[in-house]
Amino acid sequence: MPRTFTTSVLHITTGARETVTDLTHDCEQFLARTAPTGDGLLNIFVPHATAGIAILETGSGSDDDLLAALHVLLPADDRWQHRHGSPGHGRDHVLPALVPPHATLPVIGGRLEIGMWQSVCLVDTNISKDNRQVRLSFLG
């Protein structure tokens, strides 16, 4: 059976503050265009050293809770060896070790198979860079 591979890049503006941006709708639109009835895998990848992809509930405060937890784990202060950019920017370079820059999710019948309360999110703590690319790739 032949396999298909399709890829597209989202351009996301996150602004000048730390954000958790819900990409679920973008992922669903991509799948509707590229794999309306297909089964396979959706890979989401952010090619930046200071951002990550998380699967979590949004809208109920979990997105703010994630940012608060990251502040505790990765304080924006002068403890970091990586010192260029805004104060505490070194922590942004540690973020992908905790919130990886990728996720691979199942697609069944053209639909993203995630839980009812789960969302695909871009996590960006780098306030110095407000434009991000996110690559969506479907293998089916």
Reported as a single tens digit per residue, the pLDDT across 10-26 is 999 998 899 999 999 99
Reported as a single tens digit per residue, the pLDDT across 43-70 is 999 999 999 999 999 989 999 999 999 9
Is-above-0.85 flag for pTM? Answer: yes
Cβ-Cβ contacts under 8 Å for 43 (sequence gap 6 or more): 102, 103, 104, 105, 135, 136, 137, 138, 139
List % helix, strand, coil for the chain (3-state, nearest 5).
25, 35, 40
Domains, in order of start, for the chain = 5-139 (2.60.120.460)
* 16, 50, 62, 79 from 127: Cα distances, Å: 5, 10, 20, 18
The values of phi and psi at residue 63, to 5°, are: -65, -45
3, 38 contact by CB (below 8 A): no
Residue 85 has pLDDT above 80, yes or no: no
**Closest C-alpha among 46, 47, 66 to residue 56:** 66
Instruction: Assign 1 a pLDDT band (cuts: 50, 70, 90).
Output: low
